[in-house]
Amino acid sequence: MATEQLVRHIRSQPFRKFRIHLADGRHVDVKHPDFIARSPGGRTAVIYTGTDTAETVDLLLVTSLEVLNGHSGRARR
């Protein structure tokens, strides 16, 4: 998945919640742009999913992004 797509979703105005789909079938929801941080190299991201709970994601394993408000469907890589 192109990291540019991820950055575009994070910086969209207004921000829309989105779901990151992973190669192993899991998904992680990003509910606010402050809840995701990419590593300086751009290979991994930490997504805060709840109170004191976080997921570390290898961005090479992302298969698609899905806007959760229903406006754009999935963006495939």
What domains, with CATH codes, occur in the chain?
Answer: 3-69 (2.30.30.100)
Q: What is the mean pLDDT of the chain?
A: 88
Q: Is the pLDDT of residue 54 over 50?
A: yes
Helix (H, G, I), strand (E, B) or coil at 67: strand
Share of the chain above pLDDT 90, in %: 77
* Cβ neighbourhood burial of 57 (10 Å; 0-12, 13-18, 19+): buried
pLDDT at 1: 56
Radius of gyration from C-alpha coordinates of the chain: 11
Could you tell me how far CA 3 lies from the centroid of its own chain?
Answer: 10
User: In this predicted model, what pLDDT tens digit does every residue of 16-34 receive, in sequence order?
Assistant: 999 999 999 999 999 999 9
